């Protein structure tokens, strides 16, 4: 009886099976790249720079316009959980906004909402990559965003997940401010490019256990 040992054939031929990664991204409209003429946003740009020679990567974006942490905490598991499985290495990306300020949530409440999401992901052994809220052009709002950003970073890093601070590097960045001013307060092509650069250089490859793209 003829029997083909596929695993042995692969070893002899030097074929390496790819890791199977599935990334689920949740957050507000910035996660979906709204306002980007190239329709990529920061996440699309980051994924385009993610090496694929050793990884089979699937990504699903579950964005909700004008979402704060309260709504995000209540929906993320139901929606993301339907896309996680036992075949892939499951990963969760969270794009945070400053909507909690607009909705009158206290910083303590925002911290708790994010903590609940991260704790739930940790219980499911899902590594999380959190991207913090970017700055606005309003100095009063930015003072509140600075406090919220610090709180988000603290909650995330205490739980040993990755956090990218987009607020501090971009607050006084001329290209960011010009782009946001030209796009009615939201990032356009240049702004999303800056956010993508920060993500790629603040732990993305380490989070996925991949070599950095050249």
Tell whether 2 is covered by a domain.
no
Strands of 162-164's sheet, edge to edge?
Answer: 55-63, 19-27, 89-95, 128-131, 162-164
Tell whether 144 is covered by a domain.
yes
pLDDT band at residue 212, thresholds of 50, 70 and 90? confident
Tell whether 9 is covered by a domain.
no
Cα 96 from chain centroid (whole Å):
8
Q: Which domain holds residue 69?
A: 19-206
pLDDT band at residue 135, thresholds of 50, 70 and 90? very high
Q: For residue 125, give the DSSP letter.
A: T
Number of domains in the chain: 1
| Distance, CA of 70 to CA of 103 (rounded, Å) | 10
More confident residue, 104 or 15: 104
- pLDDT, tens digit (0-9, with 9 covering 90-100), for 37-81: 999 999 999 999 999 898 999 999 999 999 999 999 999 999 999
Tell whether 212 is covered by a domain.
no
Tell whether 4 is covered by a domain.
no
- pLDDT, tens digit (0-9, with 9 covering 90-100), for 163-207: 999 999 999 999 999 999 999 999 999 999 999 999 999 999 999
**122, 54 contact by CB (below 8 A):** no
Tell whether 104 is covered by a domain.
yes
| Distance, CA of 78 to CA of 75 (rounded, Å) | 6
Tell whether 10 is covered by a domain.
no
Tell whether 125 is covered by a domain.
yes
Please report, for the domain that includes residue 128, its CATH number. 3.40.50.1110
**207, 21 contact by CB (below 8 A):** no
Centre a 10 Å sphere on the Cβ of residue 199 and count the other Cβ atoms it contains: 23
């Amino acid at each position: 009886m003829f029997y083909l040992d596929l695993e042995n054939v692969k070893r002899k031929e030097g074929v390496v099976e790819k890791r199977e990664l599935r990334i689920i991204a949740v957050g507000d409209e910035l996660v979906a790249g709204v306002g980007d003429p190239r329709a990529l946003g920061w996440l699309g740009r980051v994924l385009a720079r993610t090496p694929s020679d050793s990884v089979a990567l699937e990504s699903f974006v579950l964005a909700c316009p004008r979402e704060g942490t309260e709504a995000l905490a209540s929906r993320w598991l139901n929606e993301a959980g339907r896309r996680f499985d036992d075949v892939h290495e499951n990963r969760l990306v969270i794009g945070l906004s400053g909507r909690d300020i607009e909705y009158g949530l206290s910083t303590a409440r925002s911290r708790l909402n994010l903590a609940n999401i991260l704790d739930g992901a940790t219980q499911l052994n899902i590594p999380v990559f959190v991207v913090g809220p970017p700055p606005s052009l309003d100095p009063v709002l930015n003072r509140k965003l600075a406090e919220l950003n610090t709180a988000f970073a603290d909650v995330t890093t205490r739980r040993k997940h990755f956090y990218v601070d987009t607020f501090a590097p971009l607050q006084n960045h001329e290209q960011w401010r010009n782009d946001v001013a030209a796009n009615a307060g939201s990032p356009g092509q240049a702004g999303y490019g800056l956010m993508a650069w920060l993500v790629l250089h603040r732990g993305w490859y380490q989070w996925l256990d991949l070599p950095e793209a050249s």
